[in-house]
């Protein structure tokens, strides 16, 4: 007489042998595991931040050379910039993994969640990608571009993440230079002559960085305090931090109008700049007079779409003017 199979040892399908599966657990296929690992590493690389860096580099190219940028140069600049930015994201995740476990906002990242078995994999991946980006930019673009990419990486990883972030509330003042380096890398890829538009947008990006990161720091003051990170609101209070963030943000609209007033950019650019710039300006004014975490969060949420919108307006305006 045949013994009846229990539910615990019945085959999962007609094509597979019997596997003991505990109730409530799921057996993932090889494809699902590969997809999950891909998603994990994409999170580790912080690609949303990398996209803004790539846009910065593109804008630097268009400001320096107009619409006639070499396609090959642009391609290798974007590839090298993506590798370096993603590598910096992985290195930042590795260095800050102890802080990420403490703060709720970052506790779901791959390393705190244990999605990557060894944290050293993030370290090795980050170092490899940054070095690969530097080699590609040096060989296929030029040495000056590679120098700016290297400078941005050093500022972000060593000056900001390792040295200043855990020591001073003014770490953003130095870390903000990393974003400027992306713009300068794009310029250096196609030109050797510095121009006024590049200076204006470098100052714009630098001030934007302050409003962006301080807005986030105000919203997450309690978490930073628990992790013992001396952000501006932790050290000086929400009111003072809100005013510094708001003042940085309020300068962005008048600064962004200067390229139009000087004839550097044209109608499409100024329409987009005024439309989205007034919204951001209003949010920063509200934060200045009403320094709350909610208003700071609004400034932060608006900041990335604002910068992306300005960048796209620059590119579209330059392409349109020479069509």
pLDDT band at 22 (very low <50, low <70, confident <90, very high): very low
pLDDT band at 321 (very low <50, low <70, confident <90, very high): confident
pLDDT at 21 over 70: no
Tokens of 93: 């995740």
Nearest CA among 176, 197, 177, 215 for reference residue 300? 215
pLDDT band at 32 (very low <50, low <70, confident <90, very high): confident
pLDDT band at 20 (very low <50, low <70, confident <90, very high): very low
Domains by residue range for the chain, with CATH: 35-193 (1.10.357.140), 210-323 (no CATH)
pTM above 0.85, yes or no: yes
pLDDT digits (tens, 9 = 90+) for 38-80: 889 989 999 988 999 999 999 999 999 999 899 999 999 999 9
Over residues 259-277, mean pLDDT: 94
């Amino acid at each position: 007489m045949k013994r009846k199979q229990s539910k615990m040892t019945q085959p999962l399908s007609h094509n597979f042998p019997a596997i003991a599966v505990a109730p409530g657990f799921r057996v993932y296929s090889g494809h699902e595991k590969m997809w999950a690992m891909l998603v994990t590493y994409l999170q580790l690389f912080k690609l949303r931040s990398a996209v803004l860096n790539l846009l910065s580099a593109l804008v630097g190219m268009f400001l320096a050379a107009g619409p006639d940028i070499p396609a090959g140069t642009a391609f290798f600049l974007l590839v090298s910039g993506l590798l370096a930015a993603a590598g910096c994201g992985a290195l930042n995740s590795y260095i800050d993994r102890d802080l990420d476990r403490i703060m709720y906002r970052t506790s779901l990242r791959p390393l705190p969640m244990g999605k990557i078995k060894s944290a050293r994999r993030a370290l090795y991946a980050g170092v490899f990608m940054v070095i690969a980006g530097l080699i590609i930019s040096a060989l296929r673009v030029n040495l000056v571009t590679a120098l700016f990419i290297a400078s941005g990486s050093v500022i972000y990883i060593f000056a900001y993440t390792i040295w200043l972030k855990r020591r001073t509330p003014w770490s953003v003042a130095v870390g903000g230079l990393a974003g400027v380096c992306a713009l300068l890398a794009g310029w250096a890829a196609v030109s050797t002559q510095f121009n006024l538009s590049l200076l204006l947008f470098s100052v714009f990006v630098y001030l934007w960085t302050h409003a962006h990161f301080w807005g986030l720091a105000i919203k997450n003051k309690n978490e930073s305090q628990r992790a013992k990170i001396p952000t501006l609101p932790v050290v000086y209070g929400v009111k003072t931090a809100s005013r510094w963030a708001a003042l940085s943000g309020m300068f962005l609209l008048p600064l962004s109008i200067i390229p139009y007033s000087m004839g550097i950019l044209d109608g499409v650019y100024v329409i987009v700049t005024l439309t989205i710039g007034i919204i951001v300006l209003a949010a920063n004014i509200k934060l200045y007079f009403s320094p709350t975490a909610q208003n700071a969060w609004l400034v932060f949420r608006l900041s990335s779409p604002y910068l992306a919108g300005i960048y796209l307006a620059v590119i579209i305006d330059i392409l349109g003017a020479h069509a």
